Amino acid sequence: MEAATEQHFFYHGKEPSGSKAAIKAFEKERDSCHWCQIRHFPNNKKAPITIVNDEDDAVLPSTFRFLQDSKLGSGVQAAEDSFRSGCECRDDEECQYRGCLCLQEQDDDSDDESQARKKVYMYHTHGSKAGLLRSKHLSSKRPIYECHEGCACSTDCPNRVVERGRKVPLEIFRTSNKRGWGVRSLVDIKRGQFVDKYVGEIITPQEAERRRNASDIAQRKDVYLFALDKFTDQESPDPRLRGHPLEIDGEFMSGPTRFINHSCDPNLRIFARVGDHADKHIHSIAMFAIKDIKRMEELTFDYVDGVSEEDDDAKDASKHGDMGCCMSRQRGQSSAAVSRANPEIIVTAAADADSSSASGPHTRRRRHSSMPLDKHINKPLRRHAWTSEGRAWTRASLARERTDFFDTRVTGRPEVWQTLHAALQVLWDPAGQGADRDGADGLATAQGILDAAEITLPTGDLAQGAYDGLGNYYPLAEWVVADPANIVEDDATIDGLDETISRDLKDDLAGGEETTEELDEEDNVRRREEKGKAVVDARDQASVLARLSETARDVTVKFLTSDSVRVVARKIQEESGLPATKKIRIAFMGKILKENLSLTEQGWKQGYVVNALVFDR
């Protein structure tokens, strides 16, 4: 560390001289110098970054490069200029109110809708707290919407806190308690103050997965990926927000926040920050202080913050020991670390104390300190409680869809899915599985099954997903994990429900098989088609490409948008030439579709591919 520092301060400020080869070598050395990279930051004079190591001879990774802002990787694009927009506020004060275009989507807790000019931006306006995040927002998960360079307001607009960049001088230092590198502030930081962003290379989900696999093969324990998933929504009209999100990789290029460590009692929290609304898919990750921080106090944030709104264990200091939290244990004790992340939440461990590489986040959070690198955060299993709001579930529908769910898993290891299924069967029916006498109504038995297979639960709630010993993530929907509180026991409550729910319930109680009414209707439709008497409007016609699970062959069939999934499945079977001993169930977006509803009623659109799952009758 000392040699690298001396080389920078004594030589890198000079102009290169000598042969072309010597000059080229000198420029390459200076370009890779961390001090030189930091010196070129626009805010370096007012808010410098320093690097110190008084503990050992470790230096920052030579392959690492400091960045001021994130860089778009291959295949990642910002929005076209024609889609960009900004507010037209000529007075900066207007950028605090609902009328500002940048704040149109900003959530607000106030119930007073009578105000003509409703202040909705998230910062304090006046006095010593000006520019600080309001207290009511510090514990929320809502995104921050700010003005940006495309707006008419000035650069001094009060709603450009993150836009203006870091104002806090930071120091990257070697920790004394065997946790690698850490970060601290050289000045006092106020509660609600913006500290810095997490930056890096923004990459596609495919490239992120490739890098994870490469890390596994190389047996590297450090992965520095943050998922930009705040606005991910399968139903979003923006195709960039559907499917797996982009990710920020800070392994080889990032800012000082890459080296921030974990704590169960953190002093920082991350927030999604949006500038131009057209760039939600590449929103910023901003870090704010959630308490007053004294100068030279280490900065930390909770790597598993945000796993669950209902997960209060992580906030309860009295439970930290049971949770296996690194910060709550004495030095030398083993503790749990998060391994592999899902598209929303978790992060991996960081550098070993003897390594020169720094700790870094993986899909939102990073490393716990002083824990074995082969250990994962594993909280005690707890029951998931929920109430269905968009659907009336029957026991028949739950049983059928749970069976379909486990029959259609194609990612992950089959033996892990089988183990998860076995543990869930104990939770669904402790008495039927002979586990009602374990003293915990099946929880202890299910926990034992998971532990034996080295399956870990970062939150203790299976509905938040599980991880196997290799770090693979296994997502589980809440209807798979537990019965809803408002489950419908039988068909006695069908009458009086709206038509859609009534149809769903009848289909559930029929176990997915055709009812007499449906068979008669299907036969009538077939006969009309065969006789050429069916009245067809060209606007109601559609075609779908179905991929058969048995042969991986693609089949295209035409149908009416009003046709039920059952009718479409029959046409696929006829077109594919499958024997009558086979039956087809259609799956879309990872879910078996209801056979009594149409494709369009269940989210399908023209051009989308469906899976035709072939079963024996």
- Mean pLDDT confidence for 420-435: 88
Is 257's pLDDT higher than 90?
Answer: yes
Listed by start position, the domains of the chain span 60-108+117-375, 378-512, 534-616
Smallest CA-to-CA distance from 266 within 349, 175, 160, 182 is with 182
Choosing among 3.30.930.10, 3.40.470.10, 3.10.20.90, 3.30.365.10, the CATH entry for 534-616 is 3.10.20.90
Looking at the chain, the whole-number percentage of residues with pLDDT higher than 90 is 23
Band of residue 284 on the pLDDT scale cut at 50, 70, 90: very high
The residues annotated as belonging to the active site are 198, 303
Average pLDDT over residues 527-531: 51
Task: Name the burial class of residue 374, with classes exposed (0-12), middle (13-18) and buried (19+) by CB atoms within 10 angstroms of its CB.
Answer: exposed
Q: Is the pLDDT of residue 134 over 80?
A: yes
* Most confident of the ranges 93-107, 192-206, 253-267, 435-449: 192-206
User: 80 pLDDT band (50/70/90 cuts)?
Assistant: confident
For CA atoms 256, 257, 259, 264, the dihedral sign is: positive
Euclidean distance between CA atoms 223 and 250, whole angstroms: 8
SS3 at position 150 = coil
CB–CB of 612/555 below 8 Å?
yes
Nearest of 201, 192, 196, 266 to residue 48 by alpha carbon: 196
> Residue 8: its pLDDT value, please?
53
Residue 118: what pLDDT?
67
Residue 366 has pLDDT above 90, yes or no: no
Mean pLDDT value of segment 447-471: 87
Query: pLDDT tens digits for 503-516?
Result: 555 554 444 444 44
Choice between 107 and 150, residue whose per-residue pLDDT is larger: 150
192 or 475: which leads in pLDDT: 192
Specify whether domain 60-108+117-375 bears CATH 2.170.270.10: yes
By CB atoms closer than 10 A (0-12, 13-18, 19+), residue 336 is buried
Lowest mean pLDDT among 6-10, 20-24, 141-145: 6-10
- Confidence band, pLDDT 50/70/90 cuts, at residue 219: low
Residues 268-282: pLDDT tens digits? 999 999 999 889 899
Main-chain phi, psi angles of 573, to 5 degrees: -65, -40
Confidence of residue 204 (pLDDT cuts 50, 70, 90): very high
Q: How far apart are CA 585 and CA 207, in angstroms?
A: 33
Q: Determine the pLDDT at residue 133.
A: 92
Q: Lowest mean pLDDT: which of 33-37, 353-357, 445-449?
A: 353-357
Between 337 and 154, the more confident residue is: 154
Nearest Cα to Cα of residue 144 among 167, 121, 165, 117: 121
Question: What's residue 169's pLDDT?
Answer: 93
